[in-house]
Chains A and B, each alone.
Chain A
Amino acid sequence: MRRDRRRALAWSYFFLLVFAVFFLTPPVYMLLTSLKTSAEISAAASPWWVLSPTLANYVELLTSPIYLTFFRNSAFVSVLVVSITMLVSVPAAFALSRMRFWGSAALATGVFLTYLIPDTLLFIPLFKIFAFLHEWTGIEFIDRWWVLVIVYPTLTIPFCTWIMIGYFGSIPKELDEAALIDGAGYLQLLTKIFIPVALPGVIAATIFAFTVSWAQFLYPLAFTTSADQLVLPVGIVTTLVKGDVFNWGQIMTGALLGAAPPLLIYAFLMDYYIAGLTAGATKG
């Protein structure tokens, strides 16, 4: 019996190792390539080792104005979208979970269902709508980074509202009754009790909103084209990958730096990140 268990454990470790290699090969290879010079990349040496590591790619990208522009655009868009999402989702989730009114349950389900309508179904009509709005108002929407601030919340609000409804729903009713008897208004109830108690949920929703807006690729690819309006994912794919001249060292450096913010958040706030991921399904 004990020998069986030990053997099962050994096999578990073996397979975990195999899958860890499969899952971590691309990021590790990104790191290796980013430390090489172009000469070393095109040499016949082993691609899996770095002979003369250099940070030249990093220095070059971090001093290149265009790459910093991508980074800044991404940061602006993500921070604005996260703020809008939280300001909109948290009160809505509070109202839908606690201030039951006619149709609130149906609304909560409806909000969640819109999460299922993918960006790939919406980008063409949205493109046309923005062109239309331009003719109508004279404001240019296409090829402006802030148009992303308008469309990204549709990707984040439904799921964040759903997560927050779940977290708010788990707060005991006695707590708000007590607060209301003490004379607190709904706004105080939300800011003084619900948000502090459901803080893990707020953090999980914030992380979710940030990672979604940071990684979004289709909308910026469809709506922005000028180099100074691009966000990171599109900027790297369209400007660093130039025709036949692939400077792979720089592309991998750019991709790795672009992946760094979500990776850092994940490294430091792993439990919240995972709570946000699993909140949708394990509830109930």
Chain B
Amino acid sequence: MAPASRPRRAPGGLAPDQRAELLLGALVCGVLLLVLALVVFVFREAWPSFARNGLRWFGPGGNPDQQIEAIFTSSDLLRKPVYTFHAWPIVWGTLLCTVGAVCLSFVAALFVAVFVVEFAPEWIRRVLEPVVRLLASVPSVIFGLLGVLVLVPFVGRHVITNDARRSVAYVVSLSGYSLLAGVVILSLMISPLMIAVFSDGLRAVPRGWLEGSLGLGINRWRTFWKIGVRTARPALVAGTVLATARALGETVMLAMVTGGVSFAPNPADGLIFFVEPTRPLAATILQTAEELTSSPMRHTIFAMAAVLLFSAALLSLAGWAAKQPMRKYGARP
């Protein structure tokens, strides 16, 4: 790939080409250092909170909202800083929102992707593809606004019965701001991402494999389901990982529609479980970000951010692992 003739020397003794390579390399190293600094700084700020709570940080016990209040006020008046924080309701809310939305949108996105790639008539395909891209780029605050003004009142009025409201009134008030609203809108937000990745994967399935099956007299649905979808498995994993990362980091929409109280929805409540409010990690950070001025609170907030960052890193590792078999077949994800 090297150019045939050495170009004229620049005054500095380096050829312009070498200089450009060094410059770009320095740029890359700079960004890498910045990201390294990000990780180090966040974990360093987070450490006191983890150190004082140990693994119980993730455990249940007490109400995180009250704990946050206590941590925040403890920095005033030179009192002893309080660090007690048991984030289980928040972590549980994050898990519920993420897993719920990912499961829901996985099924939907898989069928829609199969439909787009194989079964949709030409005109629907031509409409659906830009629509998917559009939906993927709608800002989350607009989803949040629609959730707050349309879905939440609907849930509050028509899904939650008065009996249900009364039955849990002594624990939590049901108003429509709920896990259900969060999961539904979140899955609407992440499914375009999944559809895009899934349909790229499905399109890359060699035509001959499908035609071989069709030639044996297997019908089109079965052929595509058994051969197309199975061949595209790495793409399915990659898309799911990407969407999970997005769901995990979704902040504003969830802060708006899930209710803003750190309550752990209890599956034992039956169907009411779905309409109970909660608040995931990212939304908690957003709503407590004004309290960064208090130093124990700051460590607690950074601890939540560190958990998010760690999960994101794990997910991108999983995505990388899922892509390896794809590389083997020469397909670019």
Q: Does B associate with A?
A: no
